[in-house]
Structure 1
Amino acid sequence: MSVRLPKLVSLLLLPMALCIAGCADTADDNSAPVTDLPPATVDDHDGHDHGTHDHPSEGPHHGELVELGDDQYHGEVVHNEETGGVTVYILDGSATKQVAIDAADVRINVKHGDKPEQFKLAAKPDDGDEDGKSSRFASANKELGTLLDADGAAPQLVVKIDGKSYRGSISHSHDHEGHDHAH
């Protein structure tokens, strides 16, 4: 009988364990997801359907978002209309918080005619960035600002984070009339 008792106890406990596990799953399914993501801060003013994303339609500095990796990180590209320069902020996967990385620069590759051209944006640590790291990268090169908006430029942001390279397309598709990038 001692051999049968463990089997009997197992058979009696199994339905109870499944019931408890099922109840726990049901509670999770009925609860609303918790997110700290802000709502999109701009209307879809360029007329394109951007699909459903779990992040805002523009970055915290009102720049264009560039997906890096499988939404592991984002770049935020901000044009300064007054100076012609470009600033890139590295953001987390939700595209809401800056992430300081250990990099001296990030790069933007563009096509200029048939010729590829690469621009380096130097690290300019922002307030709160850890020593030796930066979440902000900038270039005062006016040519870069112009080329980002040029037809056929196909700009791409290239970033190295923790030894891994990330590349994302910059799709600047709206005109500048009445839209100030220098926030």
Structure 2
Amino acid sequence: MKICSQISAQAAYLVLAFSVSISGCGQGTSDESSPQAAASGDSHEHPKEGPHHGALIELGEEEYHAELVHDEHAGTVTVYLLDAAGKVAVPTDAAELTINLSHDGQSEQFGLPASPDAGDPPGQSSRFASGDPDLAEELDHEHADAQLVVTIGGKQFRGVVAHDHDHDDHDH
């Protein structure tokens, strides 16, 4: 009898442990705004714009971000490379990055040469800029598809450049 009661007690304990683990599943684990999620880095809350007030572009599996600043009045396009949170500059030794653009069946490539920020190490840049009026104009086309390509730490990253519909001087 003693053996049966020990087995019953062990079985009851296993059933209880199993029940507790099942009832806990899904509760609080997917809430990205919870303090536990934020502390573990699981939160996917990202700022909508970068530190220079430009649009953020995801690179890789959120390994990095690029911030695209399109100054329509000056006709310039500047891209800043940022960390996974989209906040801190990430310098790279790439001499330029590329924006591949497709509009009305035509494909074009635009190179943005490195234009190092003051805080970038020698031989590296976290900022890339272009004064090419064609690039600035093409980025304004609502049906243009654009992709940014850059190498960081010897690895190539690509990111989709979304069209910004919040231009002050456009009626979209």
| Alignment TM class, shorter chain as reference | 0.7 to 0.9
Q: Are positions 1:153 and 2:127 aligned together?
A: no
More deviation in 144-153 or 66-75? Answer: 144-153
Give the unaligned 5+ runs of structure 1. 1-28, 37-51
Change (3 A) 1:31 1:89: closer
Within 1, Cα distance between the matches of 2:76 and 2:151? 22
- 1:125 equivalent to 2:120? Answer no
Deviation of 1:34 (Å): 4.1
Q: In 2, distance between residues paired with 1:79 and 1:173?
A: 9
For residues 177 and 58 of structure 1, the distance between their equivalents in structure 2, rounded to whole angstroms, comes to: 17
The CA distance in 1 between the partners of 2:161 and 2:98, in whole Å, is 12
User: Is 1:96 aligned with 2:96?
Assistant: no
Residue 83 of structure 1 is matched in structure 2 by: 74
Distance between the aligned counterparts of 2:169 and 2:103, measured in 1? Answer: 27
Letter in 2 for 1:93: A
TM-score by length of 1: 0.68
Amino acid at match of 2:96: D
- TM-score, normalised to structure 2's length? 0.72
Q: Deviations 1:54-97 (Å, cap 9, x if unpaired)?
A: 22110000000000000000010001122211000000000001
1:143 aligns with 2:134: yes
Contact 1:83 1:142 in 2 (8 A): no
1:109-141 CA-to-partner distances (Å, cap 9, x unmatched) read: 101321210000000000110110000000000
| Counterpart pick for 1:61 among 52, 64, 80 | 52
Cα RMSD for the two superposed structures: 2.4
Deviation, 1:53, is: 3.4
5+ residue gaps, structure 2: 1-28
Aligned to 2:99: 108
Higher strand proportion (structure 1 or 2): 2
SS at match of 1:96: coil
Q: What is the one-letter code of the residue matched to 2:95?
A: A
Q: CA separation in 2, counterparts of 1:157 and 1:31?
A: 34
* Equivalenced residues, count: 136
Runs of 4+ in structure 1 displaced over 6 angstroms?
A: none
Is 1:155–1:171's contact at 8 Å kept on the other side of the alignment?
yes
Structure 2 CA distance for aligned equivalents of residues 55 and 101 of structure 1: 22
State the SS of the aligned residue for 1:97. coil
3-state DSSP of counterpart to 1:155: strand
Give the percent of matched residue pairs that are identical in Structure 1 and Structure 2.
Answer: 49
